[in-house]
Structure 1
Amino acid sequence: MASYKAPLRDMRFVLFELMGGDDLASLPGYEEFTRDLIDPVLEEAAKVCEEVLHPLNRSGDEEGCTFENGVVRTPKGFIEAYKTFRDGGWTSIACDPAYGGQGLPKSVNTLVEEMICSANLSFGMYPGLSHGAYVSLHGYGSDELKDAYLPKMVDGTWSGTMCLTEPHCGTDLGLLRTKAVPQDDGSYKITGTKIFISAGEHDLTENIIHLVLARLPDAPKGVKGISLFLVPKFMPDSDGNPGPRNGVACGSIEHKMGIKASSTCVMNFDDATGWLIGQPHKGMQAMFAMMNTERLSVGIQGLGLAEASYQGAVTYARERIQGRSLTGVKHPDKAADPIIVHPDVRRMLLTQRAYVEGCRALGAWAARALDLQKHHTDPAVQEENEEFVALITPVIKALMTDLGFEATNLGVQVFGGHGFIREHGMEQYVRDCRIAQIYEGTNGVQALDLVGRKLPAKAGRNLRRFFHPVAEYIETHVEDDTMGEFVQPLAKAFVRLQQATAQVARAGMANPDEAGAAATDYLRLFGLTALAYLWARMVEVSLPKVGGADDSDGFYTAKVNTARFYMERVLPQTNGLFAQIMAGGKSIMAFDEAAF
């Protein structure tokens, strides 16, 4: 059976040594978040994830959720685990202290999210969706709504959902049909059906607060006519406790490939009472606040599952004996050598490791930008980081889930036939990871968002927030004898990215299908270059410590060696991606539709 140990050593490296997390306490509102406070938080999160959540991962997958007479029950142990999670304050760590939250930096919360996803992604969906709903309500709700609902959502007594998708309407939300009819008391009656609603119904909390996209009677057509509403499962009484049942019910739950312990529901709204969040017809603005939070979190899901799969694969490769090393016996005391001696097994393990540690750094970079965007005192710095987050969000969501899926598949491959067997736990990571490439906007949609919206936004200013620091770094370090073997491959990939960016912009202006045909390859090229930049920075931090007292466990030596593998064996993918982008989209778009 798979086991999990939180990678606290690498998390601390990324947070404090790579991203300068020690200066978080200099930001207004973060004064108390020094390393002395952050370290115990990470250690306690690790305990909860290792000892409470992970033991339920396989059993939750096998049992799944059950649905009977409109009631959804989570697997055995989930209610008790959620109570432990809630009582420990984990639902509130990244929330506003004004509503009972602990206000931890996003830089810290991202690491906690990763641990939860590694330990038990299905469980993590429940508080994860609640936090997305919290973000939207906190940003756009009236003071009355926030005062009434946020404290109990923050403390985990109540949970939240995002109700967007309809049977005929997924990515194209302009087609949605759910109606909202104004009432004399200022409320609205919501009627419609939503599908694929994660945590739409369950038995973990006293109440469930649905955030629902719907149309007012006078709504313009398309996405400009969508409003956002708060619809509780139970109407709060005068004391703020759950009262009578609202007109919302679960019609069924989906039977899925993965995340089986997370309830994915069809939700029916039948004259359900709701309240407007934000302005009429401006629901997309509030929705995207929620979606962008979730897209970053989904990227972290890919990372978390990749980490768990890597740990399982390494343990197995050290223990499983098969054949002898190609260069001679390495363990004469055993009937065969452990498979970790074989080059192809090492290739797979190092690929997993390079993906995991690179993506952890990428997630930390975005999290730090979010902290600076929200808490820095200089409006110019806030704006710069807001632009960077806008640019990097689709890259994180798509790249980290694509690489997560690749990594979990490699984990199965390391196990061979045993990886295909349920009892080892490796195949579950593959199944659970697959959805991350689909929900919160498919990865193809993320690529279109990158090339169609984020690159041209503000006359390309968003792009500068990535291009400028990378260009400056290369110029500073490319002739450094100690850094050259890492920076020179980065420089070549960066040149390819610049050329590809110009090509996508030129071709896309003449024919949008050209940009669409290049989008997925372009996002991957962008993402791999970003990881190369971060790997070079990690080497810069690590090299001075290699062989020293701080490297007694070989941590920094392994960091440098993993970076070398990334530059030599992973980054060359950018050559092929560049060729594909420059080839254009003719072979895709000219193919006769009838011939498919």
Structure 2
Amino acid sequence: MADYRAPLVDMRFIREEVLNAEQEWQTMPATAELNAELADAVLEEAGRLVEAELFPLNQSGDAEGCHFDGHEVSTPDGFQSAFQELAQGGWCGLGGNPDHGGQGLPKLLTQSFDEMLYAGNAGFALYLTLNNGAALLLDAHADEVTRSLYLPRLYAGEWLGTMCLTEPQCGTDLGLIKTRAVPDGNGRYAITGSKIWITGGEHDLTDNIVHLVLAKLPDAPAGAKGISLFLVPKRHVHEDGSVGNANGVVCGGLEHKMGIKGSATCVMHFENAQGILIGEPHQGLATMFTMMNYERLSIGIQGLGLGDVAYQGAMAFARERRQSRAPGGAAEPGQIADPILMHPDVRRMALDVRAWNEGGRLFAAFVARELDRAKYHPDGEVREVAADLVALLTPVAKAFLTDRGFATTVEAQQIYGGSGYCVEWGAEQYVRDARIAMIYEGTNGIQAMDLVGRKLVRNQGAYLHRFAEQMRADLDGQLDGAGSADTRVDPALVPFRVAADIELARLERASEVLIEASKVDPAAAGAAAHDYLQLLGYTAYTWMWWKAARAARRGLAEQGVSGEAFYRAKLMVGQHFLERQLPQSEALESQIAVGPAGLMTWDQALF
């Protein structure tokens, strides 16, 4: 099993040379003290921790898994000590509110840490990323007393947070939940019900676990409009922050899963557990989306991280594994055979994986930057534009990144041949760990339905218009400090510019077709949803590759810090995307145009 190395050079290139992060951080009071040097130092230390502490536990944690003794859950050997090291180093509060002990770093920086976590040990990473989302929600919606009591401890890693939504009878349709919350007359609520698939629902990493639970009040309206949100700690919390007796929160068992076996995925029972209402009554689903939107980008990054570590392992194997001779004769005549990396089909697979990974890293950073703008930027118009882009692109960030993440782990596994199917090489674990990311936090089909139904048809393409407006402005050199230089005449950039123009026009055509079709056929949106999300993903990646190519050309001209070899490789990988991956978008447009008839005319009995 090859080692993992955090892609720090590529992360810095995207952050500083593509997005000009340091320059923008200075314009936002919340991030004004952050500079490129500090960002580099943070991520270098993060990379060291992941490489030295978490990655060595990845394979053993998968083999051992979590244990349930009928009452308590224990994590794999080494997880406790690794978690304590991260907690003591402040890594649980990296993006937290400084008023309550967090470090206040922007999402553009913390998402790079998330990628390292998922690449190094996806099962372990989930404890931290769920905690980040829970803390974010409490910071946005809890009262000051609750924030002061809970946030410092979540940021310090003394406690960890969870998200409790799904029940045996409902997942996507949360209006069907049966968990009940009954006022106790003292401003608290008695929570009773069962939840399933709860990441980190019970474990031995912290003394207390803070559950965010969806439940219904006695007077709740039917359906999703009747959901409220409650904070329910595993153990009672006193006013001074000390932990008391058990609070009626009981683990009913561990799920037996395909992957992420180091993550404790639990059945949880709430038996008259005392809870605190977070936000307004019957507004729990809207409140929970504060957490879920950030978590959806995080889960997208799970796909990205696993794709990158899978690529690194496959390339180490492909350089050493010798089979046959290269086309045209021996590449290394002194050896019995040539490395398999000399064969065209292996290179095809390798470059497919690398291009998806590097495009995904660009896209994830872009969405994270827009999240920061929507939250921190002093200019109201900038915040509004960013919020619209986030609304449109969040489903894509979750679904397109995880679709590609799973595909890249499978492709990387294929490079090993038969060895990839065997446990000791590690490739099959990445495939298993990546598969869940397409399912949880809202399946990728649900993400596509959300994109088409809420983000396209419902507002008649307003978000898409904003996206197109921003993309065209960038292509004309008006965004991200690109300057006014006419990039149309640079021969190396012409293919990227032409592709971006073509793909944006294609996306706009398909959007118009879908909006019009939805006016006359209620099934039109659902039938095209998957293909439309994929098409938007391809278009967004084409934009990202344009941005990267432009930055690489600038780096070559100015002898940038990333180095000539890096810039030339970036342009070559981008060219691979244009030539061998992007042509799929033409087929997607054709599929969208077909309409729903071929799906909906079938009688159920024929399936």
Instruction: Decide which of 559, 566, 569 is 2:580's aligned counterpart.
Output: 569
**Are the equivalent residues in 2 in contact too, given 1:130–1:153 (CA < 8 A)?**
yes
Partner of 1:3: 3
Partner of 1:14: 14
| 3-state SS in 1 of match to 2:461 | helix
Partner of 1:520: 530
**Are the equivalent residues in 1 in contact too, given 2:22–2:36 (CA < 8 A)?**
yes
> How many residue pairs end up in the alignment?
596
- The answer on 1:489 being equivalent to 2:499 is yes
Partner of 2:593: 582
Partner of 2:424: 423
- Deviations along 1:51-90, one digit per CA (max 9) or x if unpaired, are 0000000000000000012100000000000000101110
- Paired with 1:120 and 1:581, the residues of 2 have a C-alpha distance of 38
Partner of 2:520: 510
| 3-state SS in 1 of match to 2:31 | coil
TM alignment of 1:52-451, pairs within 5 A: 52-451=53-452
Instruction: Decide which of 542, 556, 559 is 2:567's aligned counterpart.
Output: 556
- Paired with 1:398 and 1:123, the residues of 2 have a C-alpha distance of 22
**Are the equivalent residues in 1 in contact too, given 2:181–2:190 (CA < 8 A)?**
yes
**Range 179-188 or range 549-558, more displaced:** 549-558
- Paired with 2:287 and 2:476, the residues of 1 have a C-alpha distance of 41
The structural deviation recorded for 1:461 is: 2.7
The structural deviation recorded for 1:462 is: 1.8
**Range 550-559 or range 228-237, more displaced:** 550-559
The structural deviation recorded for 1:179 is: 0.4
- Paired with 1:351 and 1:168, the residues of 2 have a C-alpha distance of 40
Give the partner amino acid of 1:214: A
**Are the equivalent residues in 2 in contact too, given 1:478–1:488 (CA < 8 A)?**
no
**Are the equivalent residues in 1 in contact too, given 2:457–2:518 (CA < 8 A)?**
no
The structural deviation recorded for 1:449 is: 0.3
Partner of 1:39: 40
| 3-state SS in 1 of match to 2:386 | helix
RMSD: 1.4
The structural deviation recorded for 1:261 is: 0.5
Give the partner amino acid of 2:191: I
| 3-state SS in 2 of match to 1:191 | strand
| 3-state SS in 2 of match to 1:29 | helix
**Are the equivalent residues in 1 in contact too, given 2:181–2:192 (CA < 8 A)?**
yes
Structure 1: which 5+ residue stretches go unaligned? none
**Range 65-74 or range 586-595, more displaced:** 586-595
- Paired with 1:353 and 1:501, the residues of 2 have a C-alpha distance of 30
- Deviations along 1:472-513, one digit per CA (max 9) or x if unpaired, are 345676843422122212222222211111111111121121
| 3-state SS in 1 of match to 2:501 | helix
Distance 1:572 1:97, change over 3 A: same
- Paired with 1:552 and 1:513, the residues of 2 have a C-alpha distance of 51
| 3-state SS in 2 of match to 1:307 | helix
- The answer on 1:593 being equivalent to 2:607 is no
Distance 1:261 1:7, change over 3 A: same
- Deviations along 1:129-185, one digit per CA (max 9) or x if unpaired, are 111111111111111211111110111100110000000010000101100000111
TM alignment of 1:531-542, pairs within 5 A: 531-542=541-552
Distance 1:582 1:458, change over 3 A: closer
- Paired with 2:54 and 2:108, the residues of 1 have a C-alpha distance of 22
Give the partner amino acid of 1:42: L
| 3-state SS in 2 of match to 1:91 | helix
TM-score if structure 2 supplies the norm length?
Answer: 0.96
Distance 1:139 1:457, change over 3 A: farther
Distance 1:457 1:90, change over 3 A: farther
- Paired with 1:69 and 1:552, the residues of 2 have a C-alpha distance of 56
The structural deviation recorded for 1:455 is: 1.5
| 3-state SS in 2 of match to 1:180 | strand
Give the partner amino acid of 1:534: M
| 3-state SS in 2 of match to 1:581 | helix
The structural deviation recorded for 1:293 is: 1.1
Give the partner amino acid of 1:406: A
- Paired with 1:464 and 1:150, the residues of 2 have a C-alpha distance of 38
**Range 427-436 or range 540-549, more displaced:** 540-549
**Are the equivalent residues in 2 in contact too, given 1:70–1:250 (CA < 8 A)?**
yes
- Deviations along 1:356-408, one digit per CA (max 9) or x if unpaired, are 11111111111111111111111111111111111100001000000000000
Q: Kindly, what percent of the aligned residue pairs are identical?
A: 48
Partner of 1:480: 489
- Paired with 2:303 and 2:119, the residues of 1 have a C-alpha distance of 9
**Range 566-575 or range 18-27, more displaced:** 18-27
**Range 455-464 or range 150-159, more displaced:** 455-464
**Range 354-363 or range 27-36, more displaced:** 27-36
Distance 1:507 1:330, change over 3 A: same
The structural deviation recorded for 1:547 is: 8.1
Give the partner amino acid of 1:9: V
Give the partner amino acid of 2:308: E
The structural deviation recorded for 1:458 is: 4.7
Give the partner amino acid of 2:379: D
- Paired with 2:41 and 2:556, the residues of 1 have a C-alpha distance of 27
Give the partner amino acid of 2:600: M
| 3-state SS in 2 of match to 1:512 | coil
| 3-state SS in 1 of match to 2:550 | helix
| 3-state SS in 2 of match to 1:455 | helix
| 3-state SS in 2 of match to 1:441 | coil
- Paired with 1:79 and 1:545, the residues of 2 have a C-alpha distance of 43
Give the partner amino acid of 1:531: Y
- Deviations along 1:440-483, one digit per CA (max 9) or x if unpaired, are 00000000000000124555332223111223345676843422
Distance 1:485 1:365, change over 3 A: same
- Paired with 1:450 and 1:22, the residues of 2 have a C-alpha distance of 32
- Paired with 2:410 and 2:331, the residues of 1 have a C-alpha distance of 28
Distance 1:239 1:538, change over 3 A: same
- Paired with 2:447 and 2:72, the residues of 1 have a C-alpha distance of 35
Give the partner amino acid of 1:78: F
| 3-state SS in 2 of match to 1:324 | coil
- Deviations along 1:289-336, one digit per CA (max 9) or x if unpaired, are 111111010011010000101111111111111011122211111111
